[in-house]
Structure 1
Amino acid sequence: MSDALRLVDAHHHVWNLDHRPQPWLDEAGHEPIRRTFGLDDLRSTATRLIAGRQLTSTVVVQCVTSVDETRELLALADENPLIGAVVGWADLTSPAIGDVLDELRAGPGGAYLRAVRHIVQSESDPEWLQRPAVERGLRAVRERGLGYDVLIRSHQLSQAIRLAERLPDLPLVLDHAGKPPIVRQDLAGWEQNVRLLAGHPQVRCKVSGLVTEADPEKWTIADIRPVWDVLLSSFGPERLMFGSDWPVCVLAGGWNRWAATVEVLLSGCSAIETDAVLADTATTFYGLTSADGRTAPCS
Structure 2
Amino acid sequence: MSDVPGLVDAHHHVWDLDHRPQPWLSEPGHAPIHRTFGTDDLRAAATRPIAGRRLRRTVVVQCVTSVPETRELLALAEGDPLVGAVVGWVDLTAPGVGDVLDELRAGPGGEYLRAVRHLVQGESDPRWLQQPAVERALRTVRERGMAYDILIRDHQFDQAVRLAERLPDLPLVLDHAGKPPIASGELGAWEQGLRRIAAHPQVRCKVSGLVTEAAHRTWTTDDIRPVWELLLSVFGPDRLMFGSDWPVCVLAGGWNAWAATVEELLGGCSATETEAILAGTATAFYRLDPLEPPAPERKEGTPCS
TM-score, length-scaled by structure 2: 0.94
Q: Determine the structure 2 residue equivalent to 1:64.
A: 64
Q: Deviations over 1:179-233 (max 9, x none)?
A: 0011110111111110110000000000000000010011001110000011000
C-alpha distance in 1 between matches for 2:3 and 2:155: 38
C-alpha distance in 2 between matches for 1:176 and 1:2: 31
The alignment status of 1:80 with 2:77, answered yes or no, reads no
C-alpha distance in 2 between matches for 1:108 and 1:213: 35
Q: How far 1:93 sits from its partner (Å)?
A: 1.0
Aligned pair in 2 of structure 1 residues 4, 161: CA closer, same or farther (>3 Å)? Answer: farther
- Give % identity: 75
Matches within 5 A, 1:12-51: 12-51=12-51
Aligned pair in 2 of structure 1 residues 79, 3: CA closer, same or farther (>3 Å)? Answer: farther
Q: Determine the structure 1 residue equivalent to 2:90.
A: 90
Q: How far 1:290 sits from its partner (Å)?
A: 2.8
C-alpha distance in 2 between matches for 1:220 and 1:288: 32
Q: Deviations over 1:86-119 (max 9, x none)?
A: 0000001111100000000010000000000000
Matches within 5 A, 1:203-282: 203-282=203-282
The alignment status of 1:55 with 2:52, answered yes or no, reads no
C-alpha distance in 2 between matches for 1:126 and 1:204: 22
Secondary structure of residue in 1 paired with 2:92: coil
C-alpha distance in 1 between matches for 2:3 and 2:279: 9
C-alpha distance in 2 between matches for 1:160 and 1:274: 27
Q: Is the 8 A contact 1:30 1:251 kept in 2?
A: yes
Matched to 1:44, the amino acid is: A
Aligned pair in 2 of structure 1 residues 181, 207: CA closer, same or farther (>3 Å)? Answer: same
The alignment status of 1:100 with 2:96, answered yes or no, reads no
C-alpha distance in 2 between matches for 1:102 and 1:288: 20
C-alpha distance in 1 between matches for 2:276 and 2:21: 36
Matched to 2:85, the amino acid is: A
Secondary structure of residue in 2 paired with 1:75: helix
C-alpha distance in 2 between matches for 1:37 and 1:273: 32
Unaligned 5+ runs, structure 2: 293-305
Q: Determine the structure 1 residue equivalent to 2:295.
A: none
Q: Deviations over 1:159-184 (max 9, x none)?
A: 11110000000000000000001111
C-alpha distance in 2 between matches for 1:3 and 1:65: 41
Q: Determine the structure 2 residue equivalent to 1:287.
A: 287
C-alpha distance in 2 between matches for 1:108 and 1:289: 18
Q: Is the 8 A contact 1:155 1:190 kept in 2?
A: yes
Number of residue equivalences: 292
